[in-house]
Amino acid sequence: MGFFTYFLRDMEQILFPNREQHAIPSMDGALSPNDRLDACYPIGEPIPDADDVVEGSDGALYISGGRHVLRLEGKGYASRGVFATFEGNTGGLAFHPDGRLLVCVAGYGLAAVDRSGRQTWLNQVADRPLNCLTSVIAAGDGSIFASNGSSRNLPEDWCVDLMQKNRLGSLIACGPGLDRPEVLIGDLHYPQGLAIAPDGGSLWLTESWNHRLSRVPLQGRGIGTPMAVNHNLPGYPARLAKASGGGFWLGFFAVRTHLVEFVLREDDFRHEMMRTLDPSQWVAPALATSGHCLEPMQFGSIKALGIQKPWAPPRSYGLLVRIDDDGEAVQSLHSRVGGHYHGITAARETAQGLVIVSKGSGRVLLDPSGGHA
């Protein structure tokens, strides 16, 4: 930062001492650390780049991973096969009321796949390509809503988008036939999760880079003014899914740390880091910890007697939170530092239990208790 930038920051602290700083909230109460994610059962072999999960009307699971959407069925979802293949990496999934599977495909847009495997596409809106679709949801009337994380970067470059401090996301809508697309909200901080309230009257939306959960009133395909439900979450929120008995399951693909927050404020250091280092060596959140000797450490005593301490400051972490209708946490499942299942991007309640996607480990997990402690 130059002198003028430092001067402005110091003056803001003097003139506005009570301005909200969005300090990282403590993980206590319903967010108290535990090892419940590590106690879940992995379903079958790893699925590289597993990202989202949805349950079909036939009880089968559909998992996005790499350039495929896999279909898992049977007891314990032991049987699997390829349902659809695409040119780009698959991400957010949702079923349309008419039975089509909606698939977000990096670099290409939104695909709708019918039972015969035929694909129809929405590639752009307002002459802008949909290269970074992160989540999709269909309303009861057939209207489709999707989040575009960034107009600059692909989903796999999410860390670059964070370090660039971008605000280039948008919420889009289209008709049941992927027709009449329009941008409903722009300038979003990497939206990544969508869910429609049980009464159908509002759309819930997560923004990763400003750690926010918002609710948007629905008026047909139109929307009202977004309202922040929780504007200071402890991590980077991913996708939402309805929970039985009310509320939602909310995944976090990483948790916030003071070191990363500091780097995001120090522009000179951040720009030099991005210019001179490989992204794997940036001081930034990660979906998983590699253990490589060049991997940046998050300050503090990381190991004791050769064992990585679960309370050490995390580079990667696993966190799934159940929130109520007011956006407050009521319970949580963790995989702490040194755990196996980090980078939680999605979860879904199914007939066989709670299914959780750990993108960091490439594993799909099953909690037969349905997430109940």
pLDDT of residue 333: 98
Q: Where are the domains of the chain?
A: 29-290+307-367
pTM above 0.95, yes or no: no
pLDDT of residue 178: 96
- CATH number for the domain whose boundaries are 29-290+307-367: 2.120.10.30
Long-range contacts of 209-218 (CB under 8 A, 24+ apart): 209/161, 209/162, 209/165, 209/166, 209/167, 209/236, 211/22, 211/235, 211/236, 211/237, 211/256, 212/237, 213/237, 213/250, 213/323, 213/327, 215/327, 216/171, 216/185, 218/139
Helices (H), the chain: 3-15, 158-163, 258-265, 267-276
Q: Do 336 and 35 meet the contact criterion of CB atoms below 8 Å apart?
A: yes
pLDDT of residue 311: 72
As a 3-state breakdown, the chain gives helix, strand, coil percent values, each rounded to 5, of 15, 40, 45
* 167: alpha, beta or left? (left if phi > 0; alpha if psi -120 to 50): beta
The 3-state DSSP class for residue 77 equals: helix
194-237 pLDDT tens trace? 999 988 899 999 999 999 999 999 976 668 888 999 999 999 99
**Alpha-carbon span 349 to 355, nearest angstrom:** 6
pLDDT of residue 16: 55
pLDDT of residue 284: 94
User: Could you tell me which residues come within 8 angstroms of residue 372 by beta carbon, excluding any fewer than 6 positions away?
Assistant: none
156-178 pLDDT tens trace? 999 999 999 999 999 999 999 99
pLDDT of residue 20: 53
**Alpha-carbon span 27 to 229, nearest angstrom:** 18
**Alpha-carbon span 319 to 72, nearest angstrom:** 24
**Alpha-carbon span 361 to 344, nearest angstrom:** 9
Identify which of 243, 258, 259, 270 has the alpha carbon closest to the alpha carbon of residue 329: 243
pLDDT of residue 370: 82
Low-confidence ranges of the chain (pLDDT < 50): none
Main-chain phi, psi angles of 75, to 5 degrees: -65, 125
319-347 pLDDT tens trace? 999 999 999 999 999 999 889 999 999 99
Rg (CA), the chain: 20
pLDDT of residue 301: 55
pLDDT of residue 309: 72
Look at the chain and count its residues: 373
Q: How many CA atoms does the CB half-sphere of 249 hold within 13 Å?
A: 23
